[in-house]
């Protein structure tokens, strides 16, 4: 089973210089390879392969001596990243690969092999760079795969190490109506469970928006290219990073709890990109980050042999009475409570939706009848 471990790095000045040489060289090779692929398709009607590009890198080194200063496998990793970008473009329609910019504060390069970990000394050895001080806060066992060194917009350095621990993914555990929970995500409450529990939305961005506006106003007043502008830009980046860390911490704790307490979790498929077109709700929807929440649930479910059940985005989970099945077509977004005119049951809009999500999902598994 492949798992990634991310650690904070503390390079010295010489190592930072080598990091930036690797960033620049890998970025150059990526852009060079993308340009070659585009020209090859325009002129010959076919795409040049990654292996052909890797062969041309040797000739490129004779022209640009500075490419020899960096790890050769990192350069080949840049062409692999481009190949993966084209695969996503053709298979998943993720957008045509773009040229990488030096102005982007987020930079990275990969190290496919020949890196070492020393947990006792808290150091990581990288080819052509040496031993780098690293906060190895979590141990692991297994074969080292690709390591990726990255720099964030706040100026911090991290390494993400992919490890094969030799274990197989566990078999899916058996679930039933008692070991399954339905989850309806929202804005006022982040998550509403079919058992009636509501998880309050922490609203990390909203809580920091005033401070963020102040910092962005200060940034806008600074002269372009000045040192003070860079300081103001760093302050904005640090606050964005803090908000992101708060959001991830909250979601990791909630998803781990849901996975540990249930054998299966039923979710509604949401068209988040379509919902973001509503400018009145776009910021709030971005703040809750439903897609990130679902992604964390999915990979943790794989790790622990749990099941994620999905229902279609057009299922009327909110409008159907979970007691008698009456379809209330007249309910509006403003109505948070409603009473079924058929059976008289009183419903909390979101709890009713969560119960129906669970019912619909189990019905598709032939575990319950509606």
Which three-class secondary structure string do you get for 148-205?
A: EEEECCCCCEEEEEEEECCCCCCCCCCCCCCCEEEEEECCCEEEEECCCCEEECCCHH
* Whole-Å CA distances, 197 to 43, 192, 317, 346, 347: 61, 6, 17, 17, 14
Per the listing, tokens 């979590």 go with 138
How many secondary structure helices (H) and strands (E) does the chain include?
9, 14
Asked if residue 339 belongs to a domain, the reply is yes
- The enclosing H or E element of 17 equals helix 13-44
Identify whether residues 99 and 45 lie together within a single domain: yes
Helix, strand, coil percent values for the chain (each to nearest 5): 45, 20, 35
208 and 334 both lie in a single domain: yes
Look at residues 139, 164, 189 and tell me which one is the last residue of a structural domain: 164
Q: What is the pLDDT of residue 42?
A: 85
Burial 118-132 (b: 16+ CB within 10 A, else e): eeeebbbebbebeeb
**Residue 341 token pair:** 């005119």
- The answer as to whether 170 is a domain residue is no
Count of residues making up the chain: 370
φ, ψ (nearest 5 deg) of residue 6 = -115, 135
Q: Identify whether residues 128 and 37 lie together within a single domain.
A: yes
What distance in Å separates the CA atoms of residue 249 and residue 256, rounded to the nearest whole number?
11
Q: How many domains does the chain have?
A: 2
Same domain, 156 and 198: no
Whether residues 219 and 348 fall in one domain: yes
**Cα–Cα distance, 138 to 35 (Å, whole number):** 41
Please give the pLDDT value at position 237. Answer: 95
> Is residue 215 domain-shared with residue 106, that is, in the same domain?
no
Does the residue 369 lie in any domain? no
pLDDT given for residue 370 in this prediction: 44
187 and 139 part of one domain? no
- Asked if residue 326 belongs to a domain, the reply is yes
In a domain, 78, yes or no: yes
Largest CA-CA distance found in the chain, in angstroms, rounded: 81
Q: Which pLDDT value is given to residue 342?
A: 81
> pLDDT tens digits for the chain (370 residues)?
899 999 999 999 999 999 999 999 999 999 999 999 999 888 888 888 889 999 999 889 989 999 999 999 999 999 999 999 998 898 887 789 999 999 999 999 999 999 999 999 999 999 999 999 999 999 999 999 999 999 999 999 999 999 998 889 899 999 999 999 999 999 889 999 999 999 999 999 999 999 999 999 999 999 998 999 999 999 999 999 999 999 999 999 999 999 999 999 999 988 888 888 888 888 888 889 999 999 999 999 999 999 999 988 888 888 888 888 888 888 877 788 888 888 888 888 889 889 999 998 888 776 655 4
Q: In the prediction, which pLDDT does 319 show? A: 84
Helix axes 13-44, 50-63, angle to 10 degrees: 120
- State whether 13 and 109 are in the same domain: yes
* pTM, two decimal places: 0.88
Domain boundary (110, 129, 164) is at 164
Q: Are residues 191 and 257 in the same domain?
A: yes
Is residue 174, in this structure, part of any structural domain at all? no
Do 189 and 338 lie in one domain? The reply is yes
Radius of gyration of the chain (CA): 25
Residue 169 lies in a domain: no
What residues make up the domain containing 59?
Answer: 2-164
Q: Domain boundary at 114, 138, 164, which?
A: 164
Q: Are residues 146 and 241 in the same domain?
A: no
Residue 370 in any domain: the answer is no
Q: What is the pLDDT of residue 368?
A: 59
Beta-bridge partners for 118: 123
What is d(CA 16, CA 153) in angstroms, rounded to the nearest whole number? 15
- Considering the domain architecture, whether residues 234 and 101 belong to the same structural domain is answered as no
Nearest one of 95, 100, 153, 107 to 273, comparing CA atoms: 95
- The residues carrying an active-site annotation are 184, 268, 350
How far apart CA 216 and CA 21 sit, in angstroms, is 30
CA distance 326 to 342: 7
């Amino acid at each position: 089973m492949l798992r990634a471990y991310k650690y904070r790095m503390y390079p010295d000045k010489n190592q930072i210089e080598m990091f930036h040489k690797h960033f620049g060289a890998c970025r150059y090779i990526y852009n060079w390879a993308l340009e070659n692929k585009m020209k090859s398709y325009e002129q010959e009607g076919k795409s040049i392969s990654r292996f052909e590009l890797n062969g041309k890198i040797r000739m490129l080194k004779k022209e640009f001596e500075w490419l020899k200063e960096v790890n050769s496998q990192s350069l080949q990793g840049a062409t692999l990243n481009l190949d993966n970008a084209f695969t996503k473009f053709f298979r998943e329609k993720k957008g045509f690969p773009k040229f990488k910019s030096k102005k982007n504060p987020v930079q990275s390069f990969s190290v496919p092999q020949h890196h070492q970990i020393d947990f006792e000394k808290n150091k990581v050895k990288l080819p052509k760079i040496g031993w780098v001080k690293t906060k190895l806060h979590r141990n692991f066992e297994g074969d080292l795969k690709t390591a990726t060194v990255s720099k964030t917009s706040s100026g911090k350095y991290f390494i993400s190490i992919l490890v094969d621990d030799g274990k197989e993914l566990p078999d899916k555990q058996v679930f039933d109506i008692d070991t399954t929970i339905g989850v309806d995500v929202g804005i006022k409450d982040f998550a509403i469970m079919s058992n009636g529990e509501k998880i309050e939305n922490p609203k990390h961005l909203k809580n920091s928006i005033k401070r963020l506006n102040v910092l962005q106003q200060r940034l806008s007043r600074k002269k372009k290219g000045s040192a003070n502008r860079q300081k103001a830009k760093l302050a904005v980046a640090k606050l964005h990073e803090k908000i992101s860390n708060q959001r991830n911490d909250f979601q990791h704790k909630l998803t781990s709890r849901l996975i540990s307490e249930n054998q299966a979790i039923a979710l509604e498929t949401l068209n988040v990109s379509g919902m973001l077109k509503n400018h009145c709700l776009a910021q709030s929807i971005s703040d809750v980050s439903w897609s990130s929440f679902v992604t964390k649930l999915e990979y943790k479910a794989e790790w622990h042999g749990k099941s994620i059940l999905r229902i279609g985005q057009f299922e009327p989970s909110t409008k159907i009475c979970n007691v008698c099945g009456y379809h209330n077509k007249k309910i509006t977004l403003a109505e948070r409570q409603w009473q079924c005119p058929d059976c008289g049951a009183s419903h909390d809009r979101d709890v009713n939706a969560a119960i129906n999500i669970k019912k619909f999902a189990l019905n598709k598994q032939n575990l319950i009848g509606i």
